[in-house]
Chain A
Amino acid sequence: MTLRRHFLKGVLGLSVAAAMGSAAYAQDVAKIGLILPMTGPFASTGKQIDAAVKLFLAQNGNTFGGKKIEIILKDDTGNADTTRRLAQELVVNDRVAFLAGFGLTPLALAAAQVATQAKVPEIVMAAATATITEASPYIVRTSFTLPQASEPMADWALKNNIKKVFTVVTDYGPGIDAENSFANKFKAGGGTVESVRVPLRNPDFAPFLQRAAEAKPDALFVFVPSGIGAQFMKQFVERGLDKAGVKLIGPGDVVDDDILAGIGDVAIGAITTHHYSAAHDSAANKAFVAAFKAANGGMRPNFMGVGGYDGMRVITEALKKTNGNTDGDALIAAMKGMSFESPRGPIQIDADTRDIVQNIYVRKTEKKDGELYNIEFTIIPMVKDPVKAAKK
């Protein structure tokens, strides 16, 4: 037994040394391992981000701080174990300087340990559960957090004479985050809340909406992952909830720009709070939307796309600041506190939490030039993630 142990130990030592020996190559390239769900139920997230990343490089060239950017795209099919292995392989075999992408919370969390161990920055471009950035000191987020988007909804509802809200959220991390942050804030302001959680793989909303209808609330607060929003909206109308005077409110996922046209007129009138709308009124956004549509056959960018776009900006700005130094700690230091004007408006990477600080907009879904858009009408400036803010 001891003999075997020594043998194994020797073997391990040798091969570690061998691997280290081949470390120094391709000094002028900085690789980004982009891990996205390109297939499976969340593939639309992957496609949006992939398109945005390509657009960014097409617009800005591919050399930053003396480093040529190389993207290695991997499909994790929305499967966390695969994400973990891909992250590990990208770090070990491809020696990537950044890990980026991460379509869902579990996927982002699966890679967190790899980021920590390898000291490689992990840029979360989509996943939105509040706690993600706490999983590793190397995580930086350019999407949003659900509490960040949901709490302002509670404020708006309270101010607009909504007393009783029924919440319907998908039963997983982000949904629970949205429900909790909204309900707590709303109750604290004197409102009453009833809640129901819908399983993630649920084919029919009818029974949940029926409960909602019988509760006779002033408003229905909803969070469902981008993609199944359409089905929800249609059944909401089919059940006559709109005619009964129930307002549809929630974070903007349910009226995702990517699928809004498909949802159709039933979406009109929904009030949502979110960080990005393709209709955001700024020069930067108009240019972004136009370029994105031109490059992708008319596909409208959504909040996933803008997360990927800004993620690339954060990465490249950091490379410029470090003059091409790809040391993880230096890059993270460079990212902390970074701020710039994004298509969604001004954003900042919080120096303490590495999470994003951004404007949250209250929007109403309306028809504009024959197309449906979420038109922003109130701005809540520079909102921090309330969950982490409360811990301070």
Chain B
Amino acid sequence: MLTILFDGIAYGMVLFVLACGLSVTMGLMNFVNLAHGAFAMLGGYITVILMQRLGVPFLLTLPLAFIGVALVGVVLERVLYRPMYGKNHLDQVMFTIGIVFMAVAGADYLMGSSQQIIKLPAWLQGRFNIGGVGIGKYRLFVLVVCGILAFSLQWGFTKTRFGSRLRASVDDARVARGLGIPVNRLFALTFALGSGLAGLGGALGIELMGLDPSFPLKFMIYFLVVVTVGGTSTITGPFFAAMLLGVADVAGKYFVPEIGAFIIYVLMVILLIVRPDGLFARGRA
């Protein structure tokens, strides 16, 4: 029972790292980026390539996945995304679906269509048994890494100058511009950070969620659920949404496997009906 809770939290943590970048970019530029999963996939593949072809140790691939995807994020933001900010949601949706399609086909072409598999270092395999509660070592590792990340993000978001500027811009980009905050540069930076986190999440998630070319499509829904339920103006909102989703998903499949797959969708629809602005959104007049 506790194991299930633990598994769910670990799963939710990965979801959070994957989705939090999307939440901030969505809030900041009001930009619907369905291609967020493609960045996560890229991070996953970077780790796979580094480990399988170059023999880089797993731990080292994680920061590399982050940096690599962040760099790609910066370039894409500059070249492709920026012209899209002014357009309507529909165009953005179509544009990013196009990117997803290209990423899926491109990954298939370059990496093959099969599930990618990595070999974790021995110390991350297996599990502890604490008082009858089985705890997977890798899941514990994921939990710690993502927990630290979530904590530092929350700290950075609330306590640093960057964070306060970011919050101001998310609240009202126009006013923020008026106050002399360089919203565009801020956004490029945030976009890079968000994509980098997605890349890291993708790398961490290989073991838990698998990695194949259809990854961006398969998990798009999960990311969007996290963002819509969590709202786009805080870090804690998506965090708790991801936890809720992870635990509900895992517990649902455990207790009622017959309808396990429904649970997150039903949960999402109900939450959106009850709280159309997101479960943890701040009330706005």
Contact = CB atoms under 8 A, between A and B. Distances in A.
Interface residues of A, number: 34
B117 A263 contact: yes
Contacts of A258: 114
Given A199-B260, A264-B119, A237 B125 contact: yes
A42 to B, nearest CB: 8
Contacts of B222: 203
A262 B117 contact: yes
Given A47-B113, A203-B218, A210 B119 contact: no
Interface in A162-221: 196-199, 201-204, 206-208, 210-211, 213
A211 B116 CA distance: 26
Interface stretch (B162-170, B192-200, B251-259): B251-259
A228 B115 contact: yes
B115 A227 contact: yes
A139 B266 CA distance: 41
A240 interface: yes
Interface string B125-144: 11101000010101000000
B117 A204 contact: no
Nearest to B214: A41
Contact of B113 (A43, A198, A202): A43
B261 A234 contact: no
Q: Is the interface of B mostly helix, strand, loop or mixed?
A: helix
A259 B117 contact: yes
Interface residues of B, number: 39
B114 A197 contact: no
B105 to A, nearest CB: 7
Contact of A240 (B127, B258, B260): B127
A211 to B, nearest CB: 6
Interface in B217-240: 218-219, 222
B206 to A, nearest CB: 9
A317 B136 CA distance: 54
Interface in A117-149: none
Contacts of B261: 199, 201-202
A39 interface: yes
Interface in A33-50: 39-41, 43-44, 47
A167 to B, nearest CB: 12
B254 A207 contact: yes
A216 B105 CA distance: 42
Contact of A44 (B114, B134, B136): B114
Nearest to A39: B108
B191 interface: no
B117 A230 contact: yes
A210 B127 contact: no
A39 B113 contact: yes
A206 B258 CA distance: 15
Interface in B171-191: none
A238 interface: yes
B281 interface: no
B117 A240 contact: no
Contacts of B208: 203-204, 206
B126 A41 contact: no
A118 B218 CA distance: 37
Interface stretch (B3-11, B35-43, B85-93, B272-280): B3-11
Contacts of B11: 204, 206
A39 B11 CA distance: 28
A239 interface: yes
A231 interface: yes
Contacts of A207: 4, 7, 250-254, 257, 260
Most A CB within 10 A of own CB, among B113, B119, B134, B252? B113
A238 B137 CA distance: 8
Most B CB within 10 A of own CB, among A213, A238, A262, A264? A238
B257 A206 contact: no
B125 A238 contact: yes
Q: List the 8 closest A-B pairs by CB distance, nearest first.
A: A43-B113, A207-B254, A207-B253, A262-B117, A199-B261, A203-B209, A206-B7, A230-B117
17 contacts: A197-B258, A198-B257, A199-B261, A201-B218, A203-B208, A204-B11, A204-B249, A204-B250, A208-B254, A210-B4, A210-B7, A230-B115, A231-B117, A234-B207, A237-B126, A239-B136, A240-B127
Given A39-B113, A197-B257, A210-B7, 4 more contacts: A208-B254, A211-B254, A230-B117, A231-B115
